[in-house]
Amino acid sequence: MNADQLKIFQNITLTYFAKMASKEELPVLEEAYLQFESPVLLDYTSLVHISGSYEGCLYITTTTGVLEVLLSQHGEKEVNDITRLDMCRELSNVLAGNASRAFGADWTISVPQSVTADKISTLNLPPSTFIMPFLWKGIKSFLVVGLQTKGQS
Amino acid sequence: MNNTKIYQNTWPLQQLPATMKLSNLEWRFLLCADGKATVDQIQRRLGVSEKERDYILSRLCGSNLLTESIVSLEEFAKTTVDIAAPVSEPQTFIEYLKSTESPGSSTEKNMPAFSPLQKPAAAPSTARAMSLQSVIQFILNQNPDPTAGHLATYQVFMGIDTQLLKRNGITSLRFQDDRLITDPELQTAITDNIQKVLKITCPEDVFVASPPGR
């Protein structure tokens, strides 16, 4: 994974959110940081596994509030656990497409997973993660890269 | 909660890396921790709440910038007296340095003669500390592009056992973070991973001199 690929991935992912908002409410990428041991996970997580020179995953983890805003932007009037999970799946498909576009040349991308907070223990996440927080509509979400050397998990 | 523990700077301030950054209150706390004042006294001098005091103290201790002092009976008695007559906080770095001058330079202190037991001759200490900020800056400087620098830093640290990082109080890492790493195992893991990921040797100037008494 190189910086150019990562920047493409950041940009196309944030563009998805930007298209859902007015110019005044564009998503803002905050300073990245590293997290060890306890990966950041919010209410809903959209994830793809990747494999190349390393193996690991890419995920967006976000809150119920963000999914409800996205549902509203999509014209969905019904807001409940089912439609929120549908929205999370939609986000997972976007993530998988973006990952393929940014990293597809060098990495194998898995089918996407959509996970609610009560199921996060089922995720096999690398212990060290690269966290890129972003703020959209006043709510913080996280775009995360988790890598490890092959066979480490 | 009362906190009568006494702390002193782990490192002479002159030896701290120039790149190290702390908040204003953290610097003030560090200047006040002279190995004489209790945590309570420092809290009163700075006018901070117990919560703020404990937060600052945990940050400074966690970064290995403060170490608890073991004091003599006379020093202990003096701190008790000082509670009634608090000393003013050094306002400048120069004042702080003056306040830490050796007792021999002051005529006010008439210390009773005291002959401490001779400590066994210790082997010269080879311990040294690594400045985390210097390491991060070194990695970032290898990459003109900030994102590439951040990614390189991640690649260096993702190869280090998270238990080892945790043992040294590192559970997350922001690129402006600083602390002094004294654990030789973690120092080696960092330098080895820099070599492995960046194919270059970690320079000696990420290390600072040994802390006194180590």
Instruction: Give the residue with greater pLDDT, B130 vs B22.
Output: B130
Per-residue pLDDT of B34-57, as tens digits, reads 888 888 888 888 888 888 888 888
Is 60 exceeded by the pLDDT of residue B116?
A: no
| Structural domains of chain A, with CATH | 3-149 (3.40.1550.10)
Report chain B residues whose CB lies below 8 A from the CB of A148: 158
Q: Which of A108-117, B91-100, B124-133, B185-194 has the lowest mean pLDDT?
A: B91-100
Q: Choose, out of A40, A128, A150, the residue to mutate when testing the contact with B (most B CBs < 10 Å).
A: A128
Report which DSSP code applies to B92.
S
Chain B positions contacting chain A at CB under 8 Å are: 143, 145, 147-148, 150-151, 153-155, 157-160, 162, 165-166, 170-175
Mean pLDDT of B185-200: 94
Q: Which residues contact A117 (CB under 8 A, 6 or more apart)?
A: A41, A42, A43, A44
Mean pLDDT of B108-119: 47
Cα separation, B148 vs A148, whole angstroms: 18
Cα A109–chain centre separation: 14
CB atoms B151 and A6 under 8 Å? yes
* pTM given for the model: 0.66
Domain map (residue ranges) of chain B: 6-94, 105-208
What is the structure's pLDDT at B34?
84
Helix, strand, coil share (%) of chain A residues, nearest 5: 40, 30, 30
For a pLDDT cut of 70, what percent of chain B falls above it?
A: 72
| Residue to test with chain B: of A34, A50, A152, most B Cβ within 10 A | A34
Q: Do A36 and B145 touch (CB under 8 A)?
A: no
A151 and chain B: CB distance < 8 Å anywhere?
A: no
Contact residues for B174 (Cβ-Cβ < 8 A; gap 6+): A31, A33, A34
Query: Closest Cα of chain B to A23: distance in Å?
Result: 25
Q: Which residue in chain A is spatially nearest to B158 when comparing CA positions?
A: A128
Residue B87 has pLDDT above 80, yes or no: no
Cα of B175 to nearest chain A Cα, Å: 7
**10-residue stretch averages of pLDDT, chain A, 153 residues long:** 85 86 82 90 91 89 92 87 89 86 83 88 89 92 89 64
